[in-house]
């Protein structure tokens, strides 16, 4: 099973995995689940670090390398089909990072591990 991580889930993997749901912890620790982090989440974290809306004791590069090695997280590039799919999504909210995550989950056929209830309004599978 492949799972796309919402940005907050990725952050919690390193900082405080107790914030994940019990099922979320099972998923991220399962050897049969492939975890993916979108480039859009990396972009979002870099912006939030730059404007002091996110704090980190290590650089973003170090954080990603650490979680990649400890949780075997794979990176999901942003591709043109993901971007084109944005035009087909309803406008339930305007967060460009979330909308691209939704498009990627939809195009790649991956459930999205997220606590964000807004995602339920879109035609994707979410898990928490």
Q: Length of the chain, please?
A: 128
Report the distance separating Cα 116 and Cα 49, nearest Å. 21
- Kindly indicate the confidence band of residue 80, based on its pLDDT and cuts at 50, 70 and 90: very high
Structure confidence at residue 10 as a pLDDT band (50, 70, 90): very high
Q: Distance between CA atoms of 11 and 120, rounded to whole angstroms?
A: 21
Question: Is the Cβ–Cβ distance between 78 and 40 less than 8 Å?
Answer: yes
| Ordered structural domains, the chain, with CATH | 2-127 (3.40.50.1010)
Contact (Cβ atoms closer than 8 angstroms) between residue 35 and residue 17: no
Question: Per DSSP, what are the bridge partners of residue 4?
Answer: 36, 112
Supply the pTM of this predicted model.
0.94
Mean pLDDT of 42-46: 97
């Amino acid at each position: 099973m492949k799972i796309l991580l919402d940005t907050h889930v990725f952050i919690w993997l390193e900082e405080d995995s107790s914030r994940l749901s019990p099922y979320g912890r099972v998923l991220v620790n399962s050897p049969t689940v492939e975890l993916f982090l979108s480039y859009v989440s990396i972009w979002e974290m870099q912006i939030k670090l730059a404007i002091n809306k996110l704090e980190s004791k290590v650089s973003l590069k170090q954080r990603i390398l650490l979680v990649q090695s400890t949780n075997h997280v794979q990176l999901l590039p942003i591709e043109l089909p993901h971007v084109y799919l944005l035009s087909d999504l309803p406008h339930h909210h305007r967060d460009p990072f979330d909308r691209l995550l939704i498009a990627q989950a939809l195009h790649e056929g991956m459930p999205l591990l997220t606590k964000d209830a807004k995602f339920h309004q879109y035609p994707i599978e979410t898990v928490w």
